[in-house]
Amino acid sequence: MKEWLRVFRAGLSIDNPLTVLMIGLCATLAVSSQVEGSLFMGIAVIFVLVMSNALISVLRKLIPSQVRIPIFIVIIASFVTVVDLFLKAFFPPIYAVLGIWIPLIVVNCIILGRAEAFAYHNKVWLSVADGLGMGVGFSLVLVGLAFIREFFGAGKIELLGATILKMPTGYAPPTILMMFPGAFILFGFVVAFVRWLNERSTDRKVA
């Protein structure tokens, strides 16, 4: 259980896919302009990541290493398509928000990266922990980034059709935050902040 927690927490902090491993950035920069889209993207990624990690870990002894990448891709693409069809059939409003980003989870390198780096070499329950940790770590940073971008870049936060937070009137939002250059700059600050946090906590452990 201890090891399970350790693996899960690594995804949130010292091995966070976005701020430390720096993978899956293209989808992040694109989706993080809206909190709503980011939230659902996070949930979809967590699902796909846990499922593909679990399945690949179960099959890891049967998959020859020479052909592992094609097999990983087929497994991941299948799960993503399942998510795509299910969202379309049962949650059309959410599908309308996410639209084009769902199929793009296939090429999100976090999922292939974790299959290759973790699930292929570890036990099933640890792979599930890794998938959950990485997925939640990804979602937290994504939603945080989206919150800052939408709140300061658009002046309000909208969730499920309702405005839940609004800047005072007269606030002129800097549009650069909504565009990719602004996302890059902001992301740089977030990375610096998280690294500072991580370093501080490891320093304390050593001392």
Q: How far apart are CA 115 and CA 131, in angstroms?
A: 9
Q: Which is nearer to another protein, 91 or 196 (CB)?
A: 91
CB of 135 to another protein, least distance (A): 21
CB of 33 to another protein, least distance (A): 5
Q: Which is nearer to another protein, 14 or 30 (CB)?
A: 30
The one-letter amino acid at 38: S
Q: Which is nearer to another protein, 63 or 124 (CB)?
A: 63
Q: Which is nearer to another protein, 175 or 201 (CB)?
A: 175
State whether the Cα torsion 27-103-60-67 is positive or negative.
negative
Who's near 60: CB < 8 A, 6+ residues apart?
Answer: 119, 120, 121
Chain residues that interact with another protein, rule: CB under 8 A? 30-31, 33-34, 37, 62-64, 66-67, 70-71, 74-75, 77-78, 81-82, 85-86, 88-90, 92, 97, 99-101, 178
Q: Which is nearer to another protein, 184 or 196 (CB)?
A: 184
Q: How far apart are CA 151 and CA 163, in angstroms?
A: 11
**Are 126 and 3 in contact, with CB atoms under 8 Å apart?**
yes
**Are 43 and 139 in contact, with CB atoms under 8 Å apart?**
yes
The one-letter amino acid at 42: G
Cα-based distances in Å from 82 to 93, 103, 106, 109: 17, 10, 12, 19
CB of 107 to another protein, least distance (A): 15
CB of 59 to another protein, least distance (A): 8
**Consecutive H or E run containing 56:** helix 35-58
CB of 153 to another protein, least distance (A): 10
